[in-house]
Structure 1
Amino acid sequence: MSTRPASNRHPLHLTPGRACSLLALALVVLGSLALNREGLSLMQGLTALWVSPDFSDAASLGQSDSALLSAQLVAHVSWWPRLVCALLAGGALGMAGVLMQQVLRNPLAAPTTLGVASGASLAMMLATLFAPALMAGTGLGGDGFQLGREWVALAGGLAAMGLVFALAWARGMSPTVVVLAGLVVNLYIGALGMVLLLFNQEALHGTLVWGAGSLAQNSWDGVITLLTRLLPGMLLAMVLMRPLAVLDLDEANARSLGVSLRKLRLMSLGLAVFLSACVVSVLGIIGFIGLAAPACVRLMGARRLGQRLLWAPLFGALLLAVTDQVVASLDGLLPNLIPTGAMTAALGAPLLLWLIPRLKMAQGAGPASHHGMSLTHRHPRPDRLLGWLLAGVCVALMLALLVGNGDDGWTLGGDMLQQLLAGQTSVLDFRLPRVLAAAGAGVLLALAGTLLQRLTSNPMASPEILGISGGTAIALMLTLLLVPSPGQLTLLGAGICGALACLALLVVLNLRSGFIPERVLLCGVAITALYDAVRGIILADGDPRGQQILAWLSGSTYYVGLSAAVGVLALAIIAVLLVRPLARWLDILPLGMASASALGIGVTRARLVLLGAVAVLTALATLIVGPLSFVGLLAPHLARLLGLSRAREHMLGAVLCGALLMVLADWLGRQLLSPYEIPAGLMASLIGGSYFLWSLRKSS
C-alpha cells in the first residue's frame, strides 16, 4: 500500500514546512483574537505566560488595573495551559501514528483505528466504577491521580491493541485485516462502554466530557504531567529512528543488518501506545490526529521516516492547537459545550474521506480470501434447512414470550393466553410488542446486509461496518435536536437521507477502484468516527434530550407499542417479498459488470435500486434498534456457513437468522441482569461482536 506517484504528490502544492507555517500563522492570529477577547494584548498575554499576576496589593488598584490582573490570571492558569496541552497532545499523537504506521507498514494504522484510544477509555470507565483505588495513583511523582489513571489507560490501550493483533497476526498483519479488526474492536468496545453508561449515568457523567476530549484546564498540572511523560517518550522515538528505518527493507535484509525485528517492533508499538495512553488519561480521546498528521505530511512529500518523525508531530501539534482555538472561540456563540476531541474527529472524518482516493492500494485478494469466509459447499436440501430455521424462529418467539426471570425466579407463562382471551392485562402485553419489533428489525438488517454483501462481492460488507448505520444515526440525532417533536415519518425520512448520503459517498469513492476492501473499510472507519464525534458532542453538553438519544442509541425496544411493532414486522415481510424477485440480479452482479451486462442486466439501474433498498431497510431498522447490532454482518454470514449460497436461499436464510438473533438478544437482555435490562441492540452487538471476533481469529 503506497501513495500515488510524484506527479500527484502535492495536490495542494504544499510542502510540510509551508503547511506548518500556515498553521502557525493561523494559531498566532486566533490566539491574539482570543487574548483580545479577554482584554489582553499579545504582549500582555505573553507576559501572563511567564509571570503569575500578583494580587497582594489588589485592594489599592483601580478597576481597570484589577480587571487586567484578573484577565492575566485567567490566561496564566487556563488559556496558556490549554494551548500547551493541545501542542503536546497533538505532537504525541502525530508521533504515535508515525510509529504505528512504520512498524505495521500500514498507512491506516493509528491510535484510533487500532482500538488503543477506545480501549484506554473503557479501562478508565471500568476503574472508575469498580476499582477507584487504581485511579488514585501510587503517590509517585507530583500528581498521584494523574499517574494512576495514566497506567490504567495504558493497560486498556495495550489490551485493545493486543486483541487487534491477535486477530490479524496469523494473516501476516495484512492491512485489510488489521483495519477490519480494529474497526470491529472499536465498535465492540463502544457497545461495552454504552452498557456501562446506561447503568451508571450519574457516576460516569463526568467521563462523557472527558471521553469526548476536553482540553479545558485550570492549572499547569496537566501540562506538567504530559511534559514529564511525553517528552522522554518522543526523544526515545527519535533515538529509534535509525533502527526503524530498517523496517522499510524486507525482513531478510533487515535481519542481515543485525536488527532484532521482534524486539524493535514490540518496543516501538509499546512506545506508541504509551504516548497515546498518556494523552487519553489526561485529556480524553482526541480523534484522528494520529491518523491525519502522518497521512497529510506523507502526501505533502515527507516520504522518509526521518521526515515524517519531524513533520508529523509538528503538524499534529499545530493542527490540534488551531482546532482547539476555533472551538474555544465558539464558546460564547453556541449554547452548548463542544469538546475539542470530538471536533477533531468530526473534522478528521471528512479529511480522511478526501485522502482515500489519494491512497493507492493494492488490489490483493478478493474479499472472501482476505477474510477466510469463502465457502465451497452448498447445502443439498436448502428448502428443508430453511424450514428448520423457521421452526427455530418460532421456538425463539415462544421462549421470549412465555419464559421470564422475575422476582419469583424463572416462570413459564402458561396462563398468559387465558388472561389475554379474557381481556385481562398480562405480561404478554408488555413482551409481545418488543419481541415483534426485535424480529422485524432483525429481518430488515439481515436483508440490508445480504444485499450489500452480494452487491459489493464482499462478505464483510454490512450497514454497521460500512458506516451506513452510523450515517443514519447522525441524521436521526440531528433531527431529534433540531426539529421540535418530530414524527415517525420525519425521522424515517431523515434516516433514509442519511443512509443514502453514506451510500453515495461509498459509491463515489470506490466505484473507479472496483471497491477495494481497504478503501471500503476505510470509508466505514471515517463515517463511524463522525458518528462517534456527533454522539460525543450531544451527550457531553448535558442537554436533557441527550438521555432520550442515549436510550435510542442503545437499541431498546421498551418504548415500542404494539401497533408500531406490528407495522415494523409487516414492513419487514413486505420488504422480503419485494426483494425476492431481484434474486437473479444478486446471483449475477457478483460476476462483474461485463458478465452482468452480457446477461442482459442494466447494471447501473440494478445498483441504484439495490442501494436505495439498503438505505430504506437500514433507516427502518436503526429507528428500532439503534445503529449497533452486527446483525447485518452476522446473519448473512451464518446463512453462508449453513450452505445457503444462491441469492434466493441466501436472502431467506439470512432474514430468518436475523430474526432469530434479534429475538434471542431481546430475551437475553431482559433476563441476564433482571430486573435491569440490556437493550436489544446492545445485546445483539455484544453477541455478534463476540462471534465475529472469534470467527475472524479462527479463519486466520
Structure 2
Amino acid sequence: MDESIEMQRMPKVFSMSPFWLTGALAMIALALSLHRLDLLLPMRLWRHALLAPDSGDMRQLVFYASDLPRLVVCLLAGAQLSLAGAIFQQVLRNPLAEPTTLGVSAGASLALSLTMLYAPSLLFGGQEWVALGGASLGMLIVVALAWNSRLSPVALILAGLILNFYCGSIDAVLTLFHHDDLQSIFIWGAGSLNQNNWDAPRALLPRLLAGLLLAALLARSLAMMSLADDSAKALGVSLRLVRVGALALAVGLAASVVASVGVIGFLGVLAPTIVRLAGARRFRDRLVWAPLFGAVLLWLTDEIVQGFTGAWAEVPTGAAMSMLGAPFLFWLLPRLHALPDTVELSAVHRRAARPRVVIWLALGVGALIGAVALGLGTGVSAAGWAGWPGAHAGALLHWRWPHVCAALVAGTLLSLAGVVLQRSTGNAMASPEVLGISAGASLGLIALVFVARNAGHLLQSAAAGAGAFATLLVMLMLGRRHGFAPARMLLTGVTLGTAFSALVTVLLAGGDPRMSSLLGWMAGSTYDVTGREAATACLLLIGLGIVAATLIRWLEILPLGEAVATSLGMNTRIVRLALLLLAAVMTGIATLLVGPFSFIGLMAPHLARMLGFGRAAAQLAVAAVLGALIMVGADWIGRNAMFPFQIPVGLVATLLGGLYFMGLMLRGDAAQ
C-alpha cells in the first residue's frame, strides 16, 4: 500500500478540529499581542500611528515601523513555510519532509553567507535570488544523494542531515575567520524576526499569494500522488512534470522566507502534521489549514519570545521555534504509526574472499604510526615548515603531542561507540552523531558549566557521559516500540541535533559569558587539551577498549535477532542497556576532547564493513584504527592548512566525512 495512503489513515490525535485548534491558538496570540502593543502605545493612538505616524513620537514610529511589520512577517513566513512543508510531504510521500530536513534552508543560508563575504555586489539586487539559488542547489544535492535509493524517506532524511551538517561546518569555518563580518548574519540566520520597515512584508506577501494560487492549481494532480504511480499515470497525471513543478514551488517558498528572516526550524513539519492529526486528512484540506495553523503557531511563538526580558530579549524566534518544536516531535514520533520503515541504509558489501584481519590491522597500525609521526614532527611554524630532524620540530613537540593524542583517542572512541551502537540496535545508520548522542553529551557539559564552571576533568566526563546516556534512553524509548526502525531513529537524531543548535543559539544570544569558553570546543578544537588531560584520555581509552573486548560475544549475537539471542540464554534488555551505557561513556569522553560534531562514529564502522570485516571483533579493531587515522590526519590538516589560524579537528573531520558519505550515497553503497 502506498505510503501516502497510510498517512491519511493516521488516527486523529487531537480532540479539536483544525478550525477550533487554529482558532484557540489565534485567540491566545491575539490576546498577547493586544496586551503587549497596548503597553507600547495606548490603543486610542493605534489608528493614527498606522495611517499617519507622528515623527516626533518614538512610540508611534516603533509601532508602525517595527512591531506591526514583525507581526505581519510572522503570519506570512509561518504560512509560507507550512505550505512548503505540506507540498514537500505530499510530493515526496514522506511525512518528515520539510525545508530544514531536506537541506533547503541550510543551502540558502550558506549561499547568503558566502555571497556576503566574497561577492557582496550580488546582494544589491536583492538577496532572494541568492537564497533561491542556494536552496535549489541544496535540494538538488539531496535528491541526487537519495536517487539511488529511489528517494526513500530514510535516504532523503539522511541526505538532508548530511547536507545540514556539511553546510553548518562550512558556516562554522567561515565564522572562525570572519567573525565580525558574519556576526549580524549569525543572529539573522537563527530566525530573528526584528523589523525596521515594511520591506519584508512587501516581499513575502506576493510570493505567498502566488504560492497559494499555484498550489491550488496543482492541488488535484498533487492529490493523485496519494495513489500508486501506475494508478496516477492511468488517470492522466504527468508525475515527473508535477513533481518538478511542485518541488520548485516549495523550494521557492522556503528560500523566500530564509532570505527575509533566516532559518526557522521544524515549522514546515509541525504545522502539516498537526492539522493532519487534527482531522485534515485530504491534501486539499491541508493546503488550507497548514498555512493558517503555521502562521498562528509562529505568531504565538514570537509573542512568547517578545515576552522575555533582560538578556533573553534578543533570542531569535527561529531558535525558539526549534526548541518548542523538539518536545512536540518527541511526543509525536510514537503516534506516527504509518511512518514508512524502509530498508536500513548499510554498506555491507563483503568481498567473496574474507580479508585477513592481521594483515589489514598491520597496514592500518603502520599508517597510523606514520600519521602520528607526521602530526608530531611536521608542520608549519613561524619559521616555516619544520620536520624531523630539526630544532623547531623538537621544540614544538611539547605543544603538539596533547593535540595529536586527543585526536587519536577521540577517533578511536567514536569508532568503537559507532560499532557498539550499530550492532546493539540492529541499525546500520546508528552512530553518536546521527542519533544526537554527541549533542546530548554536549548538553550535559553545558549544564555543568552553568552549575560549576571550574569543574574538574573527571566531573566533566561524568556530565558528558550522563548527557549522552540520557539521550540514549530517549532513543531507546522512542525506538523500541518500532524495532529501532531507521526512519524514526534518524528523525529523532535530527530533532536532537536541531534542538541542540537552537539551544546554543539561545544561550549565545543571551550574552552569557560562560558560553564564550565553549565556542572553540563546540567547533571541535583540541587547542585547550593539556598534557595531563591527554594522558588521562589515553588511560580511559585503554580501560574502555578492554571492556569492549570482553563484550565481543554480545556484539556478535545481538545482530542475529531477539529470538536467537534469547534462545542462547541472553537477557537482551540488560545486555543492550550495558552496551548502550558503554557507548554513552565513550561518546561523552570523545565529545569532551573534540566537540559534538564529526562523522567518525558513522564513517569508520561503514569503512570496516565495506572492507569485508563483518565479525564483531574484526569490525571493532579495524574501525578503531581507521577512526584514529582519520582524526589524526584531520588534526594535522586543521593545524597547517591555514596557518597561523587553526581549523578545529571536528570541523575538518566533518568536512572530510561529509564528502566521503556523499560519495558513498551517490554510488549507491549506502542504500543497499
Relative to the length of structure 1, the TM-score reads: 0.92
Match of 1:157 among 119, 135, 143: 135
Asked if 1:394 is matched to 2:369, the reply is: yes
Question: Which residue is equivalent to 1:338?
Answer: 315
DSSP 3-state at the match of 2:551: helix
Instruction: Give, in whole Å, the separation in 1 of the partners of 2:663 and 2:554.
Output: 32
Structure 1 distance, partners of 2:48, 2:103, is 39
Q: For residue 309 of structure 1, what is the amino acid of its counterpart?
A: L
Measured after TM superposition, the shift of residue 515 of structure 1 is: 0.7
Deviation at residue 637 of structure 1 after TM alignment: 1.1
Separation (CA, whole Å) in 1 of partners of 2:353 and 2:32 = 64
User: What is residue 673 of structure 1 aligned with on the other side?
Assistant: 642
Q: Which moved more, 1:264-273 or 1:92-101?
A: 264-273
Give the whole-Å Cα distance in 2 for the aligned partners of 1:372 and 1:612.
Answer: 25
- In the alignment, which residue of structure 2 is the partner of 1:100? 88
Task: Please state if 1:604 is matched with 2:592.
Answer: no
**1:632-651 map, 5 Å:** 632-651=601-620
Aligned mate of 2:289, from 311, 314, 330? 311
Deviations 1:212-247 (A, max 9, x none): 111111221221121233322222222221222222
Which of 162, 175, 188 pairs up with 2:153?
A: 175
Cα distance in 2 for residues equivalent to 1:459 and 1:308: 35
Q: CA deviation at 1:446?
A: 0.8
**In terms of mean alpha carbon deviation, does 224-233 or 10-19 score higher?**
224-233
Per-residue Cα deviation, 1:432-452 (whole angstroms, up to 9, x for no partner): 111011101111111111100
Q: Partner amino acid for 1:359?
A: L
1:22 match: 24
Aligned to 1:403: 378
Q: Is the 8 A contact 1:3 1:299 kept in 2?
A: no
Pick which of 637-646 and 159-168 moved more. Answer: 637-646
Q: State the shift of 1:494 in Å.
A: 2.2
Give the letter for the 1:548 counterpart: S
For 2:216, give the aligned amino acid.
Answer: M
- Give the whole-Å Cα distance in 1 for the aligned partners of 2:7 and 2:531: 60
Residue number in structure 2 paired with 1:685: 654
Give the conservation status (yes or no) of the 8 Å contact 1:177–1:371: no
User: 1-side partners of 2:571 and 2:232: how far apart?
Assistant: 52
1:238/1:486 Cα in 2 relative to 1: closer, same or farther (>3 Å)? farther
1:144 maps to which residue?
none
User: Alpha-carbon deviations, 1:299-337, whole Å to 9, x = none?
Assistant: 11111111000000000000000000000011x255552
Matches within 5 A, 1:280-679: 280-330=258-308, 332-335=309-312, 337-361=314-338, 364=341, 366-367=343-344, 370-373=345-348, 375=350, 377=352, 379-407=354-382, 409-415=384-390, 426-679=395-648
Kindly provide the amino acid, as one letter, of the partner of residue 380 in structure 2.
Answer: N
The whole-number CA distance in structure 2 between the counterparts of 1:416 and 1:654 is 36
- Structure 1: state its 5+ residue gaps: 59-68, 138-147, 421-425
Displacement of 1:374 after TM fit? 5.0
2:102 is the counterpart of 1:136: no
Distance in 1, Cα, partners of 2:281 & 2:8: 11
Displacement of 1:48 after TM fit? Answer: 5.5
Tell me, yes or no, if the aligned pair for 1:378 and 1:645 is still in contact at 8 Å: no
Given that residues 433 and 561 in structure 1 are in contact (C-alpha distance below 8 angstroms), is that contact kept between their aligned partners in structure 2? yes
2: CA distance, partners of 1:484 / 1:339: 26
CA contact (8 A) 1:503 1:615 kept: yes
Query: What pairs with 1:205-220 in structure 2 (closer than 5 Å)?
Result: 205-220=183-198
Return the letter of the residue paired with 1:383: V
Residues 518, 365 of structure 1: alpha-carbon distance in 2 compared, 3 angstrom cutoff: closer
Residues 440-477 of structure 1 deviation map (CA, whole Å, 9 limit, x = unaligned): 11111111111001111222110000011112222323
Secondary structure of the residue aligned to 2:220 is helix
Q: CA deviation at 1:431?
A: 1.0
* 1:6 Cα deviation after fit: 8.9
Question: Given that residues 594 and 649 in structure 2 are in contact (C-alpha distance below 8 angstroms), is that contact kept between their aligned partners in structure 1?
Answer: yes
**Secondary structure, counterpart of 1:405 in structure 2:** strand
Q: Which residues of 2 match residues 90-129 of structure 1 at below 5 A? A: 90-129=78-117
| Aligned partner of residue 358 in structure 2, secondary structure | helix
Structure 2 alignment gaps of length 5 or more: none
Which residue type is aligned with residue 574 of structure 1?
A: G
Once the two structures are superposed, the pairs formed by residues 75-94 of structure 1 within 5 Å of their partners are: 75-94=63-82
Please report how far the alpha carbon of residue 670 of structure 1 lies from its aligned counterpart in structure 2 after TM superposition: 1.4
Give the 3-state SS of the residue equivalent to 1:360 in structure 2: coil
Counterparts of 2:50 and 2:217, CA distance in 1: 31
Q: Report the residue type matching 2:103 in the other structure.
A: G
Distance 1:481 1:153 in 2: 37
Structure 1 segment 241-256 matched on structure 2, within 5 A: 241-256=219-234
Cα displacement (A) at 1:207: 0.9
**After alignment, is 469-478 or 613-622 more displaced?**
469-478
Q: Check the 8 A contact 1:371/1:696 in 2, yes or no.
A: no
Q: Contact 1:3 / 1:360 at 8 angstroms: preserved in 2?
A: no
Deviation digits for residues 61-84 of structure 1 (CA, Å, limit 9, x no counterpart): xxxxxxxx5433322221111110
Distance 1:452 1:268, change over 3 A: same
Displacement of 1:285: 0.5
Query: What is the deviation of 1:10?
Result: 2.6
Sort the Cα spacing of 1:219 and 1:486 in 2 relative to 1 into closer, same or farther, 3 A.
Answer: farther
Kept in 2: contact 1:294–1:312 (CA 8 A): yes
State the TM-score, normalizing by the size of structure 2: 0.95
Deviation sequence 1:592-637 (CA, Å, 0-9, x none): 1111011111111111111111111111111110111111111111
Q: Residues 382 and 649 of structure 1 are in contact (CA less than 8 Å); yes or no, is this contact kept in structure 2? A: yes
CA distance in structure 2 between the aligned counterparts of 1:416 and 1:209, rounded to whole angstroms = 46
Counterpart residue type for residue 233 of structure 1: G
Displacement of 1:98: 0.7
Residues 49 and 247 of structure 1, relative CA distance in 2, 3 Å threshold: farther
Distance 2:176 2:535 in 1: 27
Q: Which moved more, 1:236-245 or 1:459-468?
A: 236-245
Amino acid corresponding to residue 163 of structure 2 in structure 1: V
| SS in structure 1 at match of 2:645 | coil
CA distance in 2, matches of 1:48, 1:85: 21
Number of equivalences: 667
